[in-house]
Amino acid sequence: MLSFLFWNLNLPEEPAFNSNIENRLARIVAAENVDIIALAEARLPPERIQSALPKTAGHSFRHVESASERLRVLTRLPVHALVPRYDSSDGRLVIMGVKHKKWELLFAVVHLQSKQHWSERDQAAQATIQAREIVRQEEAAGHARTMVIGDFNMNPFESGMVDATGFHAVMSRRVASSDQRKVAGSDYRFFYNPMWGLFGDRTAGPPGTFYYSASRPGEYFWHMFDQVLVRPELIDSLGEVRILASDGTETLLTESGHPDKAAGSDHLPILCRLKALRKQVKK
């Protein structure tokens, strides 16, 4: 089992040493037995995050070098298990190759532009560019065992997430398992988006990953900006996917049940696990 954690820490500036945030992160990592951590808006020196993280079976976490300052990836896997493959010019997309034991996959981390500055149309255009880049990396790698995780700043139902030219991420494993579809003469591969299944109160865990309330006629309140997507090749490997409401010891929510920004972040972390499948091994 490989365990992945993504968390947008939303740190406006470098916090004081021994702040809650790195301790909370460390508790999650220990409680959930995380192998690979991806962080957005983590304005902390990597060595400071590393030093807070637990050592498990003699393995300490190391920062995987990347040109992005927006996104940080840390892992306790061996040095050559996680190798940078692509960095975008704005640091909002990082793609790494993961090769460890029975796993060989592409691991992409995103932090797309905020709704504060970009319209849904702008975001959809950017999603097209990011999705195209992922396809290029898949072509270079010779496989499409790809996981994308991060803060998309879009809900799963928005254009950039569902359009064939965008991430093309659908709610149904069965639909995604058809692998691709043709639109206007071009083939587009699917992603499966398990986050659809975590919306609202009738599921385990919080209703979304981000809460926002404004005095305007149309307001969802809860959003699912933080998501994980997998290509059809990884659907059968996908184990649990959860929005975390606790760091294992303390809640990450306020009394009203919203993400507790004062004690953590205004985003909730997401966790997912991949089971190894024999067919993933390259012969």
Partner 1 sequence: MSVGTPSWSEATIRPDAQTPGTVLHDLEPSLNEKTKGILQTQVTTTFAGEMVEHHLDLIAPRLEYRITLLAARHTKDLVYPVIIQSRGFLPIDTRTRVVPLSLSAAKLASIMQKLAEKGIGGLDADEQEAASEDEFRRLVQQVLDSPYTISLTHSLIARSNEKSGNGAPQGNPQ
Query: Residues interacting with partner 1, by CB under 8 A?
Result: 12-14, 16, 43, 45-48, 67, 69, 83-91, 97, 121, 124-126, 128-129, 132-133, 136-137, 140, 165
Segments of 184-244 assigned E as strands: 186-189, 191-192, 210-211, 222-223, 226-230, 238-243
Amino acid letter for position 227: Q
Nearer to partner 1, 43 or 143 (CB): 43
Q: Report in angstroms the alpha-carbon separations of 113 from 45, 120, 132, 147.
A: 23, 10, 17, 20
Name the minimum Å distance from CB 86 to partner 1: 5
Nearer to partner 1, 47 or 240 (CB): 47
Name the minimum Å distance from CB 132 to partner 1: 5
Euclidean distance between the first and the last CA atom of the chain, given in angstroms as a whole number: 20
Name the minimum Å distance from CB 81 to partner 1: 15
Contacts of 101 (CB under 8 A, 6+ apart): 276
Can you tell me the distance from the alpha carbon of 213 to that of 220, in angstroms, rounded to the nearest whole number?
8
8 A C-beta contact, residue 188 and residue 107: no
Can you tell me the distance from the alpha carbon of 219 to that of 106, in angstroms, rounded to the nearest whole number?
35
Nearer to partner 1, 164 or 243 (CB): 164
Name the minimum Å distance from CB 90 to partner 1: 6
Name the minimum Å distance from CB 258 to partner 1: 25
Per-residue exposure over 196-205, b if at least 16 CB sit within 10 Å of its own CB, e if not: bebbeeeeeb
Name the minimum Å distance from CB 32 to partner 1: 26
Q: Report in angstroms the alpha-carbon separations of 270 from 32, 195, 204, 210, 224.
A: 11, 10, 13, 11, 10
Nearer to partner 1, 165 or 280 (CB): 165
User: DSSP states of 166-177 as a string?
Assistant: TT-EES-HHHHT
Nearer to partner 1, 185 or 218 (CB): 185
Q: Alpha carbon 248 to chain centroid distance?
A: 20
Nearer to partner 1, 77 or 241 (CB): 77
Name the minimum Å distance from CB 189 to partner 1: 16
- Here the tokens at position 229 are 């997507």
Nearer to partner 1, 69 or 201 (CB): 69
